[in-house]
Each structure stands twice: as C-alpha cells, then as structure tokens.
Amino acid sequence: MNILRVFLMLAFLSGTQVFASDEERLREIKTTLWPTAYKTQNTELLGTILHSSFEMIDTDGSRSNREKELDYVRNNKWDPGEFEYVIERLDIYEDRFAIIDGTGDAEKYTYKSSNVFIKENGEWKAIASHVSGYKEK
C-alpha cells in the first residue's frame, strides 16, 4: 500500500478532513464553516478561522478586531433564515495568500464581502474582511 493511501485511510478513520486543494479548503471555510460559526454562536470554531491580527470593516465603516468579533458572536444571535454565500472570486497567491469575495444572500437582505486569508503552519486564517453593499430585499 502506498504512503498516500495509508495517509488517506488514517485521516478518514480519525475523522480528519482531507482536502484535495487549498481552494477546496478555502471554499469550505467561507461557505460552510464561517456561516455556521455565526449561526451557532460557536466562538471556538470562529476562533480557528480568524487570525490573531484579524480586522473587519463593517457596512457602516466601523472597524472590529478578532476579540471584538468573537465577543459580538458570543453575545448576539444571528438568524438570517435561509443563507448562502456565493463566491465570485477566489485567488490564491504564492500558495500563502488568498482573496475571496462574493455575495451573502439571506432571506431578507444581501451584501457583498471580501476577505483576505493567510496560510500559516498549513492552516488558512482570515486576516481581513470588508462588508459593503448591504441591501434589504
């Protein structure tokens, strides 16, 4: 049995997700894990997504850092109803930096966002996020 098969089998048995590419992992973070962290107020999960130097600029231009964002999620329930984040751009640079942007589509509103990620120790972390174009439906 070759080494790749052994690795994949051990990863499967341990419950570890194996991603075919960085792009696949980034898509999982942005379209599934990040919204799940907000919906379930899971600050532990969100903490694994956000880099220690994370900053966000919100629709009104206010700035938030990692700790403020974790505190906000911990203390505020987010219930967008049906929600989907559609990625419109995903570019990876030098296998270490990535930009993702797209549209968040909830039952009662839409918005645009862009995110900057950095890969450290094999893990993708969001270092910046910008939200704009918020519109009620």
**CATH number corresponding to 21-136:** 3.10.450.50
Tens digit of each residue's pLDDT (9 = 90 or more) over 26-37:
999 999 999 999
- 7 has a pLDDT exceeding 60: no
Give the pLDDT of residue 3: 58
Q: Name the E strands within the chain.
A: 50-57, 63-65, 83-93, 97-106, 109-120, 123-136
Tens digit of each residue's pLDDT (9 = 90 or more) over 66-123:
999 999 999 999 999 999 999 999 999 999 999 999 999 999 999 999 999 999 999 9
Q: Is residue 68 classed as helix, strand or coil in its secondary structure?
A: helix
User: How far apart are the C-alpha atoms of 35 and 76, rounded to whole Å?
Assistant: 14
User: How far apart are the C-alpha atoms of 106 and 136, rounded to whole Å?
Assistant: 9
- Model pTM score: 0.82
Give the pLDDT of residue 14: 43
User: How far apart are the C-alpha atoms of 57 and 55, rounded to whole Å?
Assistant: 7
- 129 has a pLDDT exceeding 60: yes
Q: Is residue 70 classed as helix, strand or coil in its secondary structure?
A: helix
Greater confidence (14 vs 117) lies with 117
